[in-house]
Structure 1
Amino acid sequence: MTDAKTTGRCPVSHGGNTSTGNHPTKWWPESLNLDILRQHGAPTNPMSPDYNHKEAVKSLNFQGVWDDVKALLTDSQPWWPADWGHYGGLMIRLSWHAAGSYRLADGRGGAGTGNIRFEPLNSWPDNASLDKACRLLWPIKKKYGNALSWADLTALAGTVAYESMGLKVFGFGFGREDVYAPEIDINWGGDSEILGETDGRVADLNDANTMDEGVAASHLGLIYVNPEGVNGNPDPALTAKYVRTTFARMAMNDEETAALTVGGHTVGKAHGAMAADNIGKEPSIGRMEDAGLGWHNPDAKGKANQHFTSGIEGAWTSNPTQWDDGYLKLLFEYEWELKKSPAGAWQWEPVDIKEEHKVPDASDPDIKHNPIMTDADMAMKVDPIYNKICQKFKDDHEYFSEVFARAWFKLTHRDMGPKDNYIGPFVPQEDLIWQDPIPAGNSDYDIAAAKKDIKNCGLSLADMVATAWDSARTYRGSDKRGGANGARIRLAPQKDWQGNEPERLAKVLSKLEPIAKKHNASVADIIVLAGNVGIEQAIEKAGKSVKVPFTPGRGDATDEMTDAESFDVLEPKSDGFRNWHHSDRQSKPEILMLDRAQLLGLTIAEMVVLVGGLRVLGTTYGGSKLGVFTDNEGVLSTDFFENLTDMGLSWHAMEDGSYELRERDSGSIKYFATSADLVFGSNAALRTYVEHYAQDDNKDKFINDFVAAWCKVMDADRFDVK
């Protein structure tokens, strides 16, 4: 098997989630699957077209929601009784597993959309019985309605639970907005089966860093690592390596990782008190009479101690409903040995434990059990780095509590983007570097005068448009990072990215930065405004007059506000919009273009119109003529579409992977292309859009649609005005 770090695995699920049934990819698996873009335009959202979730959230009774969740925690229900009469552990696990699917690589996953309600997450073995937590929360969701999203509620539940058990929490921000269908754009890995061997994602079992670059869990169906050990084989030292890798892939350092592991298991318990064979199927294939709930247990008999989750059975501390230092005291005071749970799962139990350190039964306090540890818990003791951190935590519980509270806040808010998206009275005032802070920008300057200076600064139309695009294209709707706001394109690492053409970028910035200073505007604003100026010039050359809308007020980030290392994952390795594809990428450029379009929040039509427009504007990488299907470069015309549909031209594949468009009559070469160009004419679905814009009656519509799509990308990260 090749090293997973160099395979360039496709970041989107190309047919993987939809290749069953009668989807065309069942028969033609190599056909381009556009479903990840159709989700943006699909009528799945039941809200009215004028519904504004951000405004709705502001009307929420925030303290009322908090208090209702807190009251629910100790209101044990007979259909799913609480462990020790407290749902805290269950709700913490819900919040943790909702947020824990986040991965830094593409920003997908996480708690930000409420996607844990849908397949595949709601049916993963690692999420067993979290469906009950959502049902317990339903009365609160029902009471507060649209303003309280499932995404907010599932993230909030664990935070309230921690506070109720004694932790001083760091805060909470409302504002997440729900999706109403499974997110088909997420590739959870190429494993052949859920919780199977690591054949689909790890090249070298002993090297966790060879795990597929696009995923953040060691196995399909897990949030992080297998609690029994890698591939179900206990080995804390090896598990430690996978813990470090999986947590790093969601932007956690060693101290945060240790704190989350310790704090996550300071309360609650795992469930596996009966044979796993007696447990029913997951929700996606459960019985009709189970009303959408999974893992039916016919022997539960209304007892909390008969619940089933991971198959591991037991609590980690002697007081599982209290925030205390019991976890670390037990971990380091005792030697631990391997045992099997009643469900047959590997777990660690203490040798010769004192009676006072045993754990009361979840249903009958007169019964006592041994505490347990998972392989990941033992990793905190065995790994020298984690051991050192945990020893410090053990000696200073107050310090540990603060580190954990901050790490928990980061875990549950990492995919919300800048603080402009945080709503409510519990939002911490402190700016955190992982929130990618951007200072407020000035919006009170003479835009017309700035545009005049931009026109006269000596930059080409293509340079202005390409730089604005490069600045904005980093935006990821998945976790709301990147974008033009902040002008981080002028800072490390972005200023040195190959895809940003550093020499050309430096030349452009040397012209635009003095203009920004002169007009007391941000460089971020002037970069976008320059792109708009270039587009307006191209429209004028087409004989039309259309102004590109512009909203000032972007700010300029500084190096001190920028976690340069965490921005490395935003570096484009391919950009079909500018017809650039890094030579070592094995995925097809058109597939990576779909990924970029989806992260930018584009529909199919918006992707098509942007590609067609950017091609004729001459913004291709390095000034290449690939895909520039026009004899009037710099004019915003429909030439790209007209030439793709011109049967007077024939397409010819070349040995280097490029293509030539030749005149059928003479055989002379007319244009050069890549597969990211010709896919718009060869794919049946894309061709319908190309033909639409190639029509004689849609020339004006094309310009208007291009401007609208352009502004959507430029303003994607303007949460300060949305």
Structure 2
Amino acid sequence: MDGNNLDPKGACPIMHGGNTGTGNSVTKWWPSALNLGILHQHGARTNPMDPDYNHRDAVKALDFNAVKADVEALLTESQEWWPADWGHYGGLMIRLAWHSAGSYRMGDGRGGAATGNIRFAPLNSWPDNASLDKARRLLWPVKKKYGNALSWADLIILSGTAAYESMGLKTFGFGFGREDVWAPEEDVNWGVEEEWLAPSEERYGNLDEPATMYNPLAAVHMGLIYVNPEGVNGQPDPARTALHVRETFARMAMNDEETAALTCGGHTVGKAHGAGAGDTIGDAPEGCPVHSQGFGWSNPGHEGKAANAFTSGIEGAWTQHPTKWDMGYFDYLFGYEWKLTKSPAGANQWEPVGMPEDKKPVNASDPSKRDMPMMTDADMAMKVDPIYNDICQKFRADPEYFADTFARAWFKLTHRDMGPKTNYYGPYVPAEDLIWQDPIPAGNTGYDVEAVKAKIADSGLTAAEMIATAWDSARTYRASDKRGGANGARIRLAPQKDWVANEPERLAKVLGILEPIAAETGASVADVIVLAGNVGLEQSLKAAGHDIAVPFAPGRGDATDDMTDHASFDVLEPLVDGFRNFQKEQYAVSMEELTLDKTQLLGLTAREMAILIGGMRVLGTNFGGTKHGVFTDREGQLTNDFFVNLTDMTYSWHPVEDGTYEIRNRKTGEVKWTATSVDLVLGSNSILRAYSEVYAQDDNADKFARDFVDAWTKVMDADRFDLVA
């Protein structure tokens, strides 16, 4: 065989996509196949760091003041290959930081700045992120100098914060500690559209009702961070745009005042770029030729002049002094009437009526010229919408209040997905605790753990009750934005105590027994809930003949109502929990697909998902005590019976009308067990079946028990950032 005999049609000899991508992939040939790809990303194979590298240790050794000084210095060192507007890169760096953080959405906690994901597709090539590749190239010397300890994620947000300080704003603070990913985050659903900036109708049940945007989306178009600056679907209408601004920012956990502050403060500095025709601009970084080296959006008419740059197609500054933090935005917006016009690139924008020449901003490249300022449709929404107008008038009357409100909103925007303050490092971390950080007081570690376990064991609670309660407390954790989890014991507070998935009656019974034990022993309720789960698990292990201790680390604290932003916790409510065979109602997406999503948010692998599902079934922890998937005659014992019986060809599997399945004896037709699709997918999906076969083997009963304990402990400790070195 001639190894050089390539496809004569010129096809690439390498198959792209593998088992989970496009091209000749499993999901191409069998579209209904369960795609486990989101559980296989960001592993050791993509990470270039040494196996023993600890980013938290590295960050602690960083010279924070030196880093900040170097960032501040580069802001005014204009480069010929991408000159700075008015000699200051502040506006560009703010946009980089803003667009890095602005992809965050509260619905699933994904997106955001905490991983440096803007370095990769699709974000690095979104139309809304045009020319932000230049900002990163400008920052490269600083990243190169400080190396591993300074993540791209930290540097990007620091650059925007330092830019505001450089232009006169007193910022609220900054925390180092973000850790980079090394491949695209393929778990994020950015939308179903197949073209950039496709009409918004595809994202809404009804475009005139912004709240009908499909969850977990937050931006109005594929490829935008927030709203269309030209108006809804590019049609200017500030009053209508205001409604979409409100919904989009609400999905980022911002209220009206924070939204107005961010809009006005974000446009107090810098400018938009649309000096020429957009159809002459080159491809985005992911699509440009190899000799461009990922330097996208080539600008043929640039000629080394900042004023000739093209990004959004909108052209102009929002204020007279775009490199200074001042009240100029409000002076323009409310000091003039505005009329609709077009930018040189043909984009819809607004310009002031009757503005004197000496009130206009000077040209970004030539100080002898003055240019017409502009406003976007979103800016005009601040004037037209009565709620936003009232807020803006309050800001106008009190510049210090505006600056403080913006500084706090900027801090929230750029830190929201970092989780608790224990993940913040450096001398600029503000001392104030903020409710959106989900604060939790430090817990006690000095109590007698064994004495607490003894009281729990004598409490009369069943193992299943204790295990289910601990699981329900911990399963809210989201690795995406590091929210939720068992720490804080918020399961005993509204809204969690009333969630259907938490079986309020059972939960109240268990808490009524565990809370007095916590008060008597000095342990936190959070610790006692997890410890009770461990006690129940150890009882089940012992009943199955395993002598395995379940690890436990004391020190969780108990949050209070005052520390809990009740409304923002609604998004953590479990609608599906395949681990306890729970589904609140029928959804368009299958139960097993939603379970994959939850598994990824918990930070678990496909193997750990299989282990936990199989173990939780035989432990008898199904929601409502249903018997679906309980493939054992020894319920309550942690055996590998689920996998043994799932893979046993003695049985056959039959769908029934209610969406469940019957497992029947092939010879007699007797119904032995019932199941849901989540149970059976562990035998139908080839990857998951491979794991199931491992744990069904005669020699792996003990391995299964040990691996279950490891996976259980991982979930219980997922939010224990204080345990990480």
TM-score, structure 1 normalization: 0.97
2:84 to 82, 85, 93: 82
- Map 1:475-514 to 2 at 5 A: 475-514=477-516
Structure-1 separation of matches of 2:210 and 2:588: 22
Give aligned pairs, total.
Answer: 708
- Map 1:556-567 to 2 at 5 A: 556-567=558-569
Aligned counterpart, 1:618: 620
Aligned counterpart, 1:358: 360
| CA deviations over 1:163-208 (Å, ceiling 9, x no partner) | 0000000000000000000000000012242101013211212111
Q: 1:662 touches 1:669 (CA, 8 Å); kept in 2?
A: yes
> Secondary structure at 1:671's aligned position in 2?
strand
Aligned counterpart, 1:522: 524
- Map 1:420-569 to 2 at 5 A: 420-569=422-571
Structure-2 separation of matches of 1:18 and 1:316: 45
Aligned counterpart, 1:25: 27
1:400 to 402, 427, 430: 402
1:168 equivalenced with 2:145 (yes/no): no
Give the AA of the match of 2:89.
Answer: Y
Aligned counterpart, 1:59: 61
2:655 to 629, 653, 657: 653
- Map 1:235-246 to 2 at 5 A: 235-246=237-248
Give the AA of the match of 2:508.
Answer: A
Task: Using the TM superposition, name which of 379-388 and 26-35 deviates more.
Answer: 26-35
Give the AA of the match of 1:316.
Answer: W
Structure-2 separation of matches of 1:661 and 1:77: 70
Aligned counterpart, 1:639: 641
> Secondary structure at 2:721's aligned position in 1?
coil
Structure-1 separation of matches of 2:701 and 2:260: 59
Q: 1:102 touches 1:109 (CA, 8 Å); kept in 2?
A: yes
Structure-1 separation of matches of 2:522 and 2:18: 50
- Map 1:244-323 to 2 at 5 A: 244-323=246-325
> Secondary structure at 1:348's aligned position in 2?
strand
Q: Deviation at 1:160?
A: 0.2
Q: 2:18 touches 2:25 (CA, 8 Å); kept in 1?
A: no
2:587 to 564, 585, 588: 585
> Secondary structure at 2:664's aligned position in 1?
strand
Q: Deviation at 1:586?
A: 2.6
Q: Alignment RMSD, CA only?
A: 1.1
1:385 equivalenced with 2:381 (yes/no): no
Structure-1 separation of matches of 2:165 and 2:125: 29
1:103 to 102, 105, 122: 105
1:330 equivalenced with 2:332 (yes/no): yes
Structure-2 separation of matches of 1:538 and 1:48: 39
> Secondary structure at 2:673's aligned position in 1?
strand
Q: 1:103 touches 1:110 (CA, 8 Å); kept in 2?
A: yes
Structure-1 separation of matches of 2:359 and 2:226: 29
Structure-1 separation of matches of 2:19 and 2:131: 23
Q: 1:218 touches 1:225 (CA, 8 Å); kept in 2?
A: yes
1:123 equivalenced with 2:125 (yes/no): yes
Structure-2 separation of matches of 1:315 and 1:349: 11
Structure-1 separation of matches of 2:71 and 2:258: 26
Q: Deviation at 1:365?
A: 0.7
Task: Using the TM superposition, name which of 546-555 and 584-593 deviates more.
Answer: 584-593
Q: 2:337 touches 2:353 (CA, 8 Å); kept in 1?
A: yes
> Secondary structure at 2:723's aligned position in 1?
coil
Task: Using the TM superposition, name which of 202-211 and 651-660 deviates more.
Answer: 202-211
Structure-2 separation of matches of 1:17 and 1:557: 44
Q: Deviation at 1:47?
A: 1.0
Q: Deviation at 1:39?
A: 1.0
> Secondary structure at 2:445's aligned position in 1?
coil
Give the AA of the match of 1:592.
Answer: L
Task: Using the TM superposition, name which of 452-461 and 15-24 deviates more.
Answer: 15-24
Higher relative contact order (CA 8 A, sep 6+): 1
Structure-1 separation of matches of 2:573 and 2:381: 33
Structure-2 separation of matches of 1:181 and 1:434: 29
Q: 2:575 touches 2:585 (CA, 8 Å); kept in 1?
A: no
Q: 1:191 touches 1:199 (CA, 8 Å); kept in 2?
A: no
Give the AA of the match of 1:494.
Answer: Q
Tell me which stretches of 4 or more aligned residues in structure 1 moved more than 3 Å. Answer: 15-19
Aligned counterpart, 1:9: none
Aligned counterpart, 2:45: 43
> Secondary structure at 1:415's aligned position in 2?
helix
Structure-2 separation of matches of 1:191 and 1:569: 24
Q: 1:191 touches 1:198 (CA, 8 Å); kept in 2?
A: no
Q: Deviation at 1:43?
A: 1.3
Q: 1:281 touches 1:294 (CA, 8 Å); kept in 2?
A: yes
Identity percentage of aligned residues: 69
Q: 2:19 touches 2:26 (CA, 8 Å); kept in 1?
A: no
| CA deviations over 1:190-230 (Å, ceiling 9, x no partner) | 22421010132112121111111210101110000010111
Q: Deviation at 1:40?
A: 4.7
Aligned counterpart, 1:604: 606
Q: Deviation at 1:22?
A: 2.1
Q: Deviation at 1:16?
A: 14
2:344 to 328, 342, 345: 342
Aligned counterpart, 1:92: 94
Q: Deviation at 1:50?
A: 1.2
Task: Using the TM superposition, name which of 329-338 and 576-585 deviates more.
Answer: 576-585
Structure-2 separation of matches of 1:548 and 1:204: 51
Q: Deviation at 1:481?
A: 0.2
Task: Using the TM superposition, name which of 222-231 and 195-204 deviates more.
Answer: 195-204
> Secondary structure at 1:577's aligned position in 2?
helix
Q: 1:123 touches 1:283 (CA, 8 Å); kept in 2?
A: yes
Aligned counterpart, 1:11: none
> Secondary structure at 1:284's aligned position in 2?
coil
Give the AA of the match of 1:359.
Answer: P
Q: Deviation at 1:19?
A: 4.8
| CA deviations over 1:67-122 (Å, ceiling 9, x no partner) | 00000000011111100000000000000000000000000000000000000000
TM-score, structure 2 normalization: 0.97
Give the AA of the match of 2:291.
Answer: E
> Secondary structure at 2:375's aligned position in 1?
coil
Structure-2 separation of matches of 1:500 and 1:248: 26
Aligned counterpart, 1:682: 684
Give the AA of the match of 1:451.
Answer: K
Give the AA of the match of 1:58.
Answer: K
Instruction: Specify every segment of 5 or more residues in structure 2 that has no aligned partner in the other structure, as ranges.
Output: 1-16
Structure-2 separation of matches of 1:627 and 1:654: 15
| CA deviations over 1:556-576 (Å, ceiling 9, x no partner) | 000000000000000000100
Q: 2:20 touches 2:36 (CA, 8 Å); kept in 1?
A: no
Structure-2 separation of matches of 1:468 and 1:519: 19
Q: Deviation at 1:299?
A: 1.9
> Secondary structure at 2:94's aligned position in 1?
helix
Q: 2:612 touches 2:708 (CA, 8 Å); kept in 1?
A: yes
Give the AA of the match of 2:277.
Answer: A
Give the AA of the match of 1:596.
Answer: K
> Secondary structure at 2:513's aligned position in 1?
helix
Aligned counterpart, 2:184: 182
1:630 to 611, 616, 632: 632
Aligned counterpart, 2:574: 572
| CA deviations over 1:456-497 (Å, ceiling 9, x no partner) | 101011000000000000000000000000000000000000
Aligned counterpart, 2:70: 68
Task: Using the TM superposition, name which of 184-193 and 158-167 deviates more.
Answer: 184-193
Aligned counterpart, 2:411: 409
Structure-2 separation of matches of 1:564 and 1:515: 26
1:201 equivalenced with 2:203 (yes/no): yes
